[in-house]
Structure 1
């Protein structure tokens, strides 16, 4: 892929391109009258049925920044909002992807209609998809167009942005911050951004590593809940890490079936397919009143553990669990009403990988939430030295961002690491009122 371009997270030969007929004679596994629902094993894995007893995503708007969407598909009727086409420069973001209808497939996983007697259903079948086209018929596009598409979604009502796309591996730590700056603007606006980890079997998330805020990187698992062989890891690289159904890449029913061209359906595999499962769950949480970081925290806290006990670099927090995520919440009256307890426990989040240049200019990022008044203070230590420190006054029940700025000795150490193209590992110690000392490990990359 040429420098400065971004592409859909395709699996190449891993994609099963055989179309599934619209009329499929299959006995439904539950009360749904959608004929392809029994083949949607990913929905069962994430517990979508139980979640839909609470909410189907009413009132949520999820932007799919991709190749556009098929507005004539019967299973997406009433679900799509036409945004902008940054490829052709108009307001007709129709999916012209002749290979795998990438944006249409992703949109169907998010919000295909449920119980309409047609095809499949989405994770959030009453949510709306804001369609923003930034990739051409070949699934490629410029970084500038993708950044513009993210900005468009930010200013046009999206509460969640789905990015089933990415650039080459050099995007991690890339000196061109056009894309990461656009994502950060969305995060700063309280929008949840959900992005694909990548399909290159790399040991890190193939997304910008300097992000902080409600960002999730999604790895893919197969039908058995094992990491798909093609999937890059979600646990190193960016923000919060999670896994979701993406298919085995072997074709047929072991991959993910969703909407395609015309009125058809097809199976595809990739982190592109895993990502909208998480975006859909984010939409369900938006519909019950959660926003931004609270959505990400809830998804992480309720994930089904996979791999080594607890969070790990391969599966992240685990496999997304829609049923557990919405448990204890309900839709009520004229709006969403949370039925969980009020008040917030003390919590600390620190992006696992941060760029040395960013730390030198803007400080090391730490986010704090406390139920008590006072200050959140953070000290970063490396090689028995305090390399950065900072604090911020707390607002009860709200997240605050602490910027720990480099000390004189820390600045010298960071500059030396930057010039030598070496990474540093630091331990961040965070103090909150009424809570024990919190310790987090962070990797500082040149």
Structure 2
């Protein structure tokens, strides 16, 4: 089945080169720390434009990159072809089937709003500005993850342009192996122009954030209490804990500037009164700096994390863990807190539940019980310094590391170790050799 409709164009594609009006604007994205300077930008307005871009790049022997929102750029790059998919921004919900067709340029906020009109919700992440398609191709660890699994687990079909310029509608019935590799394999096998995703019947949550001042309440005590609390949770609770010293920036509330906060974030799909009972042990940790736990419509789910919505420069790493040494995590907190001399955001996600269940896709490390992340602004500190700092900081958890998370590994495209287990890597490499033997799609975290 051909995926050229909707979104097909017969007019010439919009092509931009360095020096053209609109070139720099087309490259602008959320990550500002790594320059993208391609020789040619194809601003795709439909599937035909993507085909034209891939055909051009293959004929010229140029590498291809893809950018929707620019949140997860693998690294800086020069030359080659960049396909900008931001204009492929159609969302169509089928309420009877509980599905949505999502274009490659769609942001999660659009999908949440469209699905909510029908009493449904997608398996989106915490930030409404993130691209839905790229997030899902990397797995997609979202607000409801422990109850419903990864976003990739709910994809029904993928519309794809492969390296030979073919347009494919990929389903489990028609090409199960290719679909397997696309879901979790990132952008290695072609340019995805749209997904059909499953939706879930969620309209409201009990959730929010409970923040403690890390200079008044021991961060280690918060961590230990949080870890103990997660031990008896039902799968309907998805949560994380984050720690950072907030910068002195005018867009932040004055009371938060310069403050070291350790914050537990919670999303629960059950009744509000049950949610209140579940979070009581967290409130008993100590006096809270702020407490936004309440019942809320799913359209407000992004307020649980309140991720920054302005472009900035950052670097980050992740570790998937099969267990937790609280002393090792406490060491991470001590090295990234007020004494660090540089801002670091540390987040620990509680996994398990539906995330641990087998699924027919390439999302790896399902045996992991925790995801540990560190993200650092690039405000004069070079990547090599941060890389060394991360290696030393994360040394205390190395005994539990099973891998890294593709969606939470920022701007280190030359480092792919740990992103997949050996069997998944081998299987993805076989698909890469079949569908992209010339390695056209190499501006990403490679699998070949």
**TM-score, normalised relative to structure 1:** 0.29
Which of the pair has the greater relative contact order for Cα pairs under 8 Å at 6+ separation?
2
Structure (1 or 2) with the greater helix fraction: 2
